[in-house]
Each structure stands twice: as structure tokens, then as C-alpha cells.
Amino acid sequence: MTKRPLAIATTCALFLGLAACGKSEPAAEGAAHKPVHQHVSAYDGDIARGEKLAATKLPSGQSCVDCHGAGGVKPIDAATPVIGGQYQDYLFHSLQQYRDGKRDHALMTMQIKGAFEAGTLDNQGLADLSAYFAKQDGPLGDMARSK
Ligand code: HEC
């Protein structure tokens, strides 16, 4: 009977030891965690530069906001998507896809390819545009809830 408190104390010490050991695990996991998309962080976007680029005339004679609207949230027609408030990674990835011909659209691909050929845009420019449009208040969050 007298041995029981000692046994409990030993068990507690064991548990405490385990708990203490366990504590280091999430930290180690956190350190090992890598973001799924590293494309944007490879080119940190400059929002102010992105805003200027968004209104810069491309070789087509139009700017991003001429078609996608101010802040990318008021497109000229239903065939032109809202890009304001869209995920930064998504925007950057889409622009890279138009650049590489992995995504093709008669109006949009020529904007990006033409601007690359003319030197109006480069990868940093795509990152800046993505940072700018991602920062805008847009209706995309609401769309997920609409019926
Ligand atoms: C002539 C009009 C026009 C101009 C100028 C234009 N876009 Fe677009 N954009 C479109 C259309 C139309 C689409 C839809 C294309 C498709 O379905 O692939 C589109 C699609 C996009 C998409 C994909 C959006 C999504 O939801 O998948 C992005 C990102 C984008 N544009 C960014 C830009 C940026 C940045 C610029 C300026 C460098 C720009 N656009 C200039 C018309 C335009």
C-alpha cells in the first residue's frame, strides 16, 4: 500500500517526460513544413509597381484594367474574369501558363506573350501584377457562397 504513491509518482514522471518529449515534435514538423506553392515567393511581388503595370498599355494597345476593370473587379464583359481578390499564387500561375502556352486564349495569351516579346513584362512584372490584383477587394469569396 505504501508503495502505491511512489508508483503513481513514477508513472506521472514518465508521462511528464513523454509530454516534454512530445512537445518538440510539432516544432520539428513546423520547421520541415514547406509551402506547396513557392512560385510567388521566388519573385516577391511589389504591389505599387503592380498597380502601375496594371494600367500600362501593352503592345495590344490595351492595359489589364481596360479589360478586367479597375482593381480587376469590374470586367468589361462576362467572358473576362474577375481577377481582383483572387489568390496571388493562382494569378501568378495563370499568367505563367499564358506565357508558356500551357493555357491558351485568343485575347489573353497574346497580351502576355506580346508583352514578354516587347519587354513590357517579365517574370517580376507577373509577380508584381499578381501581388497587386490579389490585394484588391473582390467578389470571389462571395461567389463560393452563391447558389
Ligand atoms: C483584351 C482584354 C484583356 C486584357 C488587355 C487582359 N486580359 Fe486577362 N483575360 C482576358 C480574358 C478574356 C480572359 C479569360 C481567358 C481564358 O478564359 O483563359 C483573361 C484571363 C486572365 C487571367 C486568368 C483568370 C482566371 O480566373 O483564371 C488572368 C490572371 C489575367 N487575365 C490577368 C491579366 C493581366 C495581369 C493583364 C495585364 C497584363 C490582363 N489580364 C490583360 C482579357 C484581357
- 17-38 residue pLDDT tens: 444 444 444 444 444 544 444 4
pLDDT score, position 94: 97
**93 with 38: CB under 8 angstroms?**
no
Residue closest by Cα to atom 14 of ligand 1? 80
Confidence of residue 40 (pLDDT cuts 50, 70, 90): low
pLDDT score, position 146: 57
Distance 32 CA to ligand 1 centre (A): 36
Confidence of residue 127 (pLDDT cuts 50, 70, 90): very high
Residue closest by Cα to atom 3 of ligand 1? 67
Rg (CA), the chain: 25
pLDDT score, position 16: 45
d(CA 70, CA 59): 20
Q: What percentage of the chain reaches a pLDDT higher than 70?
A: 67
Residue closest by Cα to atom 33 of ligand 1? 64
d(CA 139, CA 66): 19
What mean pLDDT do residues 90-106 have?
96
Question: Rounded mean pLDDT of the chain?
Answer: 80
Q: Grid coordinates representing 64? A: 489589364
pLDDT score, position 133: 97
Give the count of beta carbons closer than 10 Å to the beta carbon of residue 93: 17
pLDDT score, position 36: 44
d(CA 113, CA 103): 12
d(CA 52, CA 104): 25
d(CA 35, CA 41): 10
pLDDT score, position 140: 83
- Residue 114: exposed, middle, or buried by beta-carbon count in 10 A (0-12, 13-18, 19+)? middle
pLDDT score, position 81: 96
pLDDT score, position 147: 56
